């Protein structure tokens, strides 16, 4: 039954944004005291810190020893663009998209790179495209977890081990909360500000041996900006993957990433992180199951994200409204909870269907989500009462 009384419990941390996401529990600025500020990132201390961050990344994500890990500029977007502009063009490309960021990569490949042989496999918000139609003898670009739709691939079983093309995977809302099958992934990208709650502006680029082979054997027909170049004289610039970054990183942000990685080890590494995100999603999912006015945007339970949980309002009186009114109603819920200091930034993404989006990644405490759920009922009741009063 919907609770219309104002709840008497409040989340300790109201940060449920889907990026930048909540800092790890117990975080404070004191955690960054060891950052080598005012020092060159090329000095021994800087290189040591950068290499340590990559080593911890490999350990926690369980990246194979012969996959390269590099820190690159411009967040996940920069990492994906480096891969697209450096690797594509040798063969046809299959682009797979089911939300706004995946659709953005389609636009880049079709309208900016202007590749002549591109096939698009797209689905509406809440669904996956037919993955059986993908031809893995071509290069394939896809997101693992659709941040703005709450839809993820359930696993990598749809990718054959004997593929001829490369798989380029934007994993920014999946890494550290979902298990990535690196043997099926040739390029993996993510940013620090998602599951680990790190700071923005830095991206991570992970390359398989097959991706390195492509870089060293294929030269794109178009010019590459300096920050995209990963080879010199036909050979991989190994320094990029050994702490010698292409451009200057923030050592304060690097320290924060290291802090998040060390916290990850303290909660059980990848197993612990996945378990925390799964427990968080379970709280929201149980609320949806018992609450008639709200539903999951992701239609298939097997594809529902355990990080960027996207919800839609299914109350018949609200769905009967026009699209603008539905969006205003959902925004009203998010705004009300923001004003109450209960939940910040939980409105649906601007291009997504009207609704709510609640981050459930590993840095969020399950107890905070449990305390948030009654407030959703309260805010819905308040908005519906206001709607009836205005009628």
Tokens of 167: 């798989």
Fold classification of 29-265 (topology level): 3.40.640
* Alpha-carbon radius of gyration of the chain: 22
* CATH 3.90.1150.10 residue window(s) in the chain: 269-390
Label residue 369 by pLDDT band (50, 70, 90).
very high
Helix 366-390, helix 323-339: angle, nearest 10: 130
State the Cα–Cα distance between residues 292 and 1, nearest whole angstrom.
9
For the segment 355-379, the average pLDDT, to the nearest whole number, is 98
| CATH for the stretch 269-390 | 3.90.1150.10
What's the rounded mean pLDDT across residues 65-90?
A: 98
Least confident among 2-6, 132-136, 227-231, 284-288: 2-6
d(CA 150, CA 310): 5
Q: Which segments of the chain does DSSP mark as H helices, in order?
A: 44-61, 75-87, 100-107, 209-217, 251-266, 269-290, 316-319, 323-339, 366-390
pLDDT at position 338:
98
Return the pLDDT at 4.
Answer: 79
- Would you say 277 and 145 are in contact if contact means Cβ atoms under 8 Å apart? no
Q: Is 281 helix (H, G, I), strand (E, B) or coil?
A: helix
Kindly state the percentage of the chain with pLDDT values over 70: 99
DSSP state of 218: -
DSSP one-letter string for 140-197: EEEESEETTTTEE-S-STTS-TT-SS-EEEE-TTTTTTS---GGG-SEEEEETTSTT-
Using the predicted structure, report yes or no on whether residue 363 has a pLDDT greater than 80.
yes
Instruction: Determine the average pLDDT of the residues in 230-238.
Output: 97
Tens digits of residue pLDDT in 53-64: 999 999 999 999
pLDDT in tens, 14-48: 999 999 999 999 999 999 999 999 999 999 999 99
SS3 percent helix, strand, coil of the chain, rounded to 5, is: 40, 15, 45
Q: What is the pTM of this model?
A: 0.97
pLDDT bracket for residue 2 (50, 70, 90): low
CA gap 211, 79 in Å, rounded: 14
Q: Using DSSP, state whether 341 is helix, strand or coil.
A: coil
Distance of CA 384 to the CA centre of its chain: 32
Secondary structure class of 73 (helix, strand, coil): strand
Q: What pLDDT, on a 0 to 100 scale, did the predictor assign at position 1?
A: 44
Average pLDDT, integer, range 208-233: 97
Q: What is the DSSP letter of 241?
A: G
Per-residue pLDDT at 391: 82
d(Cα 355, Cα 100) in Å, to the nearest integer? 15
CA distances from 124 to 6, 330, 352 (A): 36, 20, 10
What per-residue confidence (pLDDT) applies to 3? 52
| Region class of 381: left (phi > 0), else alpha (psi between -120 and 50), else beta | alpha
Mean pLDDT of the chain: 97
For position 371, what pLDDT does the model report? Answer: 98
What's the pLDDT at 72?
Answer: 97
Give the chain's end-to-end CA distance (angstroms, integer). Answer: 25
What integer is the mean pLDDT of 316-326?
Answer: 97
Of 308, 192, 247, 242, the closest CA to residue 82 belongs to: 247
- What's the residue count for the chain? 391
pLDDT at residue 158, as a whole number: 98
Longest dimension (CA), the chain: 71
CA distance 24 to 22: 6
Q: Give me the mean pLDDT over the 311-331 stretch.
A: 97
Span(s) in the chain for CATH 3.40.640.10: 29-265
């Amino acid at each position: 039954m919907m609770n219309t009384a104002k709840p008497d419990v409040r989340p300790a941390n109201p940060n449920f944004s889907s990026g930048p996401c909540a800092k790890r529990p117990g975080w404070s600025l004191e955690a960054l005291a060891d950052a080598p500020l005012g020092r060159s990132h090329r000095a021994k201390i800087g290189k040591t810190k950068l290499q340590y961050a990559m080593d911890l990344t490999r350990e926690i994500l369980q990246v194979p020893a012969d996959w390269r890990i590099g820190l690159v500029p411009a967040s996940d977007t920069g990492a994906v663009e480096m891969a697209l502009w450096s690797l594509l063009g040798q063969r046809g490309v299959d682009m797979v998209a089911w939300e706004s960021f995946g659709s953005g990569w389609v636009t880049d490949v079709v309208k900016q790179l202007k590749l002549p042989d591109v096939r698009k496999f797209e689905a509406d918000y809440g669904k996956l495209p037919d993955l059986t139609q993908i031809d893995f003898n071509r290069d394939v670009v896809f997101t693992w977890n659709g941040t703005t739709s709450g839809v993820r691939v359930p696993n990598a079983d749809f990718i054959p081990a004997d593929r001829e093309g490369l798989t380029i995977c934007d994993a920014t809302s999946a890494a550290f909360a979902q298990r990535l099958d690196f043997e099926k992934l040739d390029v993996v990208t993510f940013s620090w500000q998602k599951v680990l709650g790190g700071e923005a502006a830095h991206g991570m680029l992970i390359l398989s041996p097959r991706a390195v082979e492509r870089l060293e054997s294929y030269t794109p027909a178009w010019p590459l900006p300096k920050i995209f170049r990963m080879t010199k004289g036909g050979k991989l610039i190994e320094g990029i993957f050994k702490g010698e970054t292409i451009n200057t990183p923030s050592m304060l942000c690097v320290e924060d990433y290291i802090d998040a990685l060390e916290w990850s080890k303290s909660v059980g590494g990848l197993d612990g992180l996945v378990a925390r995100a799964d427990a968080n999603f379970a709280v929201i999912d149980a609320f949806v199951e018992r609450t008639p006015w709200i539903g999951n945007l992701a239609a298939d339970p097997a594809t529902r994200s355990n990080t960027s949980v996207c919800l839609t309002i299914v109350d018949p009186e609200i769905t009967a409204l026009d699209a603008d009114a539905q969006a205003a109603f959902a925004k009203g819920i998010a705004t009300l909870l923001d004003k109450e200091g209960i939940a910040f930034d939980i409105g649906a993404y601007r291009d997504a269907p009207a609704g709510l989006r609640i981050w459930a990644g590993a840095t969020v405490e399950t107890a905070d989500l449990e305390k948030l759920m009654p407030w959703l009922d309260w805010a819905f009741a308040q908005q519906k009462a206001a709607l009836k009063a205005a009628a």
